[in-house]
Amino acid sequence: MRRCGTPRSFRGLLSGTRDDGLLRIEFTSGAITLHQCPMWTIDELLLQPALLGPGLYILVGMGERASSRPRALIGEGGLLQERLTAHSTDPRLDFVWDVVAVTGPRVMCETIRLIMQRRLIDEIRHHGCVDIANRHDAERHSGSEFDRVAADEIMCDLRPLLCLAIPGLVSTVEPVVVPIGARTPSPPRGVDQAAPTWTKHELRYRGANAIASIGGGSTILHPGSTIIGAVQPSPRWLIVQRSRLAVDGLLEDVGDGRLVRVKSFITFKSVGDATSFVTGGASLSARLAWMLLDDT
């Protein structure tokens, strides 16, 4: 694997000045390109042909208080132009002053984008100079071995490019932590699923917010939890269980219909089954995001 510290040549183009222009930099042998501009000139960025494809984006801006650290919102999308256009008119993002977009249509498949979004959030938070402004925790996606290796290679390119565009956002070297993509799907960290002591956990997944008690070999989903409304074609048991609960009146739509609220306790044989139920069968790797709640 290529070492991130190996000297490499790169090229860049700055249209205008750093205060009102568009910066584009990339390694000559790399697969990604970084685009950076101030928020007030985002229209020029949105005209770039590369933003018609997939990629990552980072929105950096003021802290919640004058004395607090800057904030960063990290996201991904299959069509960056559409996603950033929506963000540019969102009044909740009026704190943003810098926009960074990372494109690479040959390598930015959905799985790699999810892995890299999670790693960027972890690295920026770990570096400690910028607070994370994401309202929902990104999915902890494990992916295949190929996807994890590809994400490692892309991060080796992206880290120094980010240091050039926005110094201090990430560390100049790879943090000494275990990459989230290297972890295999398993019950929540620190939890013995077969233990007699019950513990309460929370899962946030694409707007859904579920609370469950885990212990004694079972997982119990609490009433009031919200789950993804759409259900994948498999597993079959999930479709049957969702239909039965809906007929019994134990599931109700929440506003826009994208989410469903649970109205009763529901017991599952494993954490994986509970995760599949909450995410509509979309992800088993999300069970790594069941976070232990402190009841004290």
Q: What is the pLDDT of residues 118-129, one digit of tens each?
A: 888 888 888 778
Given a cut of 60, is residue 225 above it in pLDDT? yes
Compute the average pLDDT of residues 40-54: 91
Residue 147's alpha-carbon distances to 93, 141, 151, 276, in angstroms, are: 31, 10, 6, 22
Structure-token match 């993002």, residue found: 93
Q: What are phi and psi of 271, to 5 degrees?
A: -65, -35
104/95 Cα distance (integer angstroms): 27
Condensed to tens digits (0 to 9), the pLDDT of residues 182-195 reads 444 444 444 455 55
Given a cut of 60, is residue 155 above it in pLDDT? yes
Given a cut of 80, is residue 222 above it in pLDDT? yes
**Farthest-apart Cα atoms in the chain, separation:** 64
What mean pLDDT, rounded, does the chain reach?
A: 80
Given a cut of 60, is residue 212 above it in pLDDT? yes
Q: Where are the domains of the chain?
A: 10-182, 199-292
Condensed to tens digits (0 to 9), the pLDDT of residues 168-179 reads 888 766 665 554
Q: What are phi and psi of 256, to 5 degrees?
A: -75, -5
What was the pLDDT predicted at 194?
53
CB 214 within 8 A of CB 197: no
Given a cut of 90, is residue 35 above it in pLDDT? yes
Condensed to tens digits (0 to 9), the pLDDT of residues 195-210 reads 556 788 888 888 888 8
* Beta-strand pair 208-215/218-221: antiparallel
What was the pLDDT predicted at 147?
83
Higher per-residue pLDDT: 1 or 85 = 85
Which pTM value belongs to this model?
Answer: 0.58
Question: How many CB atoms lie under 10 A from the CB of residue 240?
Answer: 10
Compute the average pLDDT of residues 34-53: 91
Question: How many CB atoms lie under 10 A from the CB of residue 34?
Answer: 28
Q: In what order do the strands lie in the sheet with 218-221?
A: 266-268, 218-221, 208-215, 199-205, 291-292
Q: CA angle, corner 283, sides to 1 and 81, nearest 5?
A: 70
Closest by Cα among 123, 113, 116, 99 to 34: 99
Q: CA angle, corner 242, sides to 237 and 243, nearest 5?
A: 100
Structure-token match 């009026």, residue found: 94
What was the pLDDT predicted at 294?
64
What was the pLDDT predicted at 230?
82
Higher per-residue pLDDT: 163 or 295 = 163
